[in-house]
Amino acid sequence: MAAFDISVRDTLKLLDGSFEPFAAGVSNGLYAFWLGSGISFGRAPSLRILVGKVVEFVRSHIDHADPNCKFARTLQEILNLASASAEERTRSKLDEPFANWPDQDAIAWRLVNNYSKLLGLTVDGEDMDYLLWNVIDVGATFADPAMTPDVEHLCLAALSLEGTTPEMLSANWDPLVERAMDTLTDSNAALSPTVVARPADLQLPRNKTRLIKFHGCAVKAQGDPVQYRQWLVASNDQVAAFCTQAKNQGLVTALTHIVGSKRTLMLGLSAQDANIQSIFNKAANELTWQLGDSPPSYVFSEQDLGMDQRSLLKNVYRDQITPANLKAVFEAARIQVYAKRLLTALLLDVWSRKLQALISLVPGLLLQAERQNLCSGIVSLRNHLADAAEPTLEFIDALLDRFGRASKLLRDGQIEHSNVRFEPITSDVVTALAGNPALGALGLREAAVALGLLGMGLSRGHWIVEAESLDRDSGVLAVTGKGAAAARTKVYLTASASGAALLRSEGHLMEAENPLLLQSQKLAVPMPRSPRGAAGRTGVPKAREVSISTLLQTYATADDLYEAFRQELAL
């Protein structure tokens, strides 16, 4: 199946199959994410538009009365770079807008292929970066407040909050990853990536994720041009000299260390720039990844590997590659899924792996072999969600909002910060969960068991599981039993009796709807009935409350646990 139309569900099949070691590595923070312009396609201005802007600006500033006009000379250099023929030059009327030129499209696309050389052209008497800073206007263009994050950026932000992306390396000037984080956390600076756009920024205190924008940052350059304008990398000569210039050595050293110590996932990045090739080559000189190691050392999100990506692999693996294994090396490094679907699937998979790890850690009578049935239930829920998943902004927005709401209600029993759209399961990688001392208080392990039980019922055909809306009194999810008379039941998850009390007092849980309240810890002992209260049955429905920890201390097999849980649901 082609990378551009593979489904999220089929992507998960890849992550469960030949790319399972890669998926496990992502969940444990073993990969550095290298980001290129492909992840901002449709958000940041296209090169085709920017090339046309440069040509038209230079053309419109020509003084036809001046035989030595500097803009006329620059335009001729542009046409030379575009390999414009004599016929094309004749048809191109310099007194008419570039958009009206009969060959403007062909000329523009040739310039797109030479974009970094185009930005290396100079205009006599102007700054060396005149075309980038004044014509492209990199600050206003790539830091435009109207530019909003897409699916890729929101998934990267969520994976960052889950603690699985310690290093992101970006060739992009745009702030879309940072804006995605702001969108999910209400601009909580403590959760945002530490943005490095010049060598001195490497000395900043780092947050969970460090985002190194090695070609510079439009927002920082716009806000503080004295400090950051000089670090914008655009022209071919800047890229070529990047690794040899003394001023860049701090960044080169940091990037080289990351390549040598973290496995590589490239998303929307062709790896054609000379500085990227040089950094990977330099890293291989110092510490070489071994071909065949698990998880794979280099993974590219591509339909087919490009020439530069193949060159990178040959340069880093060197004599480990032979004519006999060359094709297999290229195939093993290519996951045929583009970033939107891959990142969506990775997010679902990280959640699944964390929940399964929490099930393995929960106190109770179940042997580890029995817990595997619950883990399979988590995978069933993951796949059920993936079956309906579309890598669209609408789907991702709804997914993150619902997941964040469920996390808040589990921990706190209420929504204290409504502008915070997403909260992770934890900020730990999967292998670090066992060292988190707060798991008991947060009720995460028992909540994972509850989800595993719901997934078991889903896989056995005993009920269906559906999303709830985001209304104040909506459940975390809803369960409907099979059969004509089956009712739809709202399900809530909370950690403790105090959380359950807040669910009621804050108006999240409506007793009259007879919802199901799954509580991680033991249920609170009911207070003695008031002598003035109504005697006998009142006929008013109440929430069905189930303590997962009590069930775990009572049953020693997954089937017995499931049957007891099913009886409590009474579906």
Task: Please report the pLDDT score of residue 484 as a whole number.
Answer: 66
Band of residue 14 on the pLDDT scale cut at 50, 70, 90: very high
Q: Burial of 507 by CB count in 10 Å (0-12 exposed, 13-18 middle, 19+ buried)?
A: exposed
Which residue blocks in 163-306 are alpha helix, DSSP H?
Answer: 176-185, 218-223, 225-228, 236-241, 249-261, 274-286
pLDDT confidence band for 539 (50 / 70 / 90): low
Sorted by sequence, the CB contacts under 8 Å of residue 145 that are 6+ apart come out as: none
Quick check: is 265 in a domain? Answer: yes
The tokens for 453 are 């039980």
Residues 253 and 177 in one domain: yes
Length of the chain equals 571
Q: In Å, how far from its chain's centre is CA 34? A: 12
Q: How confident is the model at residue 3 (pLDDT cuts 50, 70, 90)?
A: confident
Q: Which pLDDT belongs to residue 114?
A: 93
pLDDT at 455: 97
Is the same domain home to 454 and 482? yes
Q: Tally helices (H) and strands (E) across the chain.
A: 26, 12
One domain for residues 442 and 293: no
Instruction: Encode pLDDT of 387-411 as tens digits.
Output: 999 999 999 999 999 999 999 999 9
- Local structure of 464: helix, strand or coil: strand
User: Each residue of 30-70: pLDDT tens digit?
Assistant: 999 999 999 999 899 999 999 999 999 999 999 999 999 99
520 and 454 within one domain: yes
Name the domain count of the chain.
Answer: 3
| Residue 163: per-residue pLDDT | 97
- What is the span of the domain harbouring residue 319? 8-38+147-229+236-337
Mark whether 466 and 561 lie in a shared domain.
yes
Cβ proximity of 176 and 43 under 8 Å:
yes
Residue 296: the pLDDT is 96
| Tens-digit pLDDT profile for residues 467-511 | 999 999 999 999 998 876 678 999 999 999 999 999 999 999 998
Nearest Cα residue to 264 out of 149, 181, 194, 165: 165
Q: Which has the higher per-residue pLDDT, 529 or 216? A: 216
Last residue of a domain, one of 115, 139, 163: 139
In a domain, 532, yes or no: no
Beta strands in 436-562, from DSSP E residues, in sequence order: 463-467, 477-481, 488-494, 516-519, 544-547
CB 213 within 8 A of CB 181: no
Q: Does 483 fall in a domain?
A: yes
Q: In this structure, is residue 2 part of a structural domain?
A: no
* Residue at 68 is within a domain: yes
User: What b/e readout covers 368-394, taking b as 16+ CB neighbours within 10 angstroms?
Assistant: eebbbbbbebbbbbbbbbbeebebeee
Q: Quote the pLDDT of residue 531.
A: 52
User: What's the confidence (pLDDT) of residue 542?
Assistant: 82
pLDDT at 363: 96
Note the pLDDT tens digit of each residue in 223-251.
Answer: 999 999 999 999 999 999 999 999 999 99
Q: How far is CA 446 from the centre of its chain?
A: 27
Same domain (yes/no): 120, 168: no
Question: Who wins on pLDDT, 481 or 1?
Answer: 481
Percent over 90 (pLDDT), the chain:
90
pLDDT of 9 reads 97
* pLDDT tens sequence across 283-314: 999 999 999 999 999 999 999 999 999 999 99
Query: What pLDDT is recorded for position 543?
Result: 87
**Same domain, yes or no, for 372 and 467?**
yes
Q: Could you tell me if residue 343 is inside a domain?
A: no
Q: pLDDT at position 528, please?
A: 56
pTM of the model: 0.94
Tokens encoding 319: 């004599």
CATH (domain of 308): 3.40.50
Let me know whether 163 and 288 are in one domain: yes
Picking from 112, 139, 166, the residue at the C-terminal end of a domain is 139
Q: What is the largest CA-CA distance in the chain?
A: 104
Boundary residue ending a domain (116, 139, 162):
139
Q: Are 94 and 206 in a shared domain?
A: no
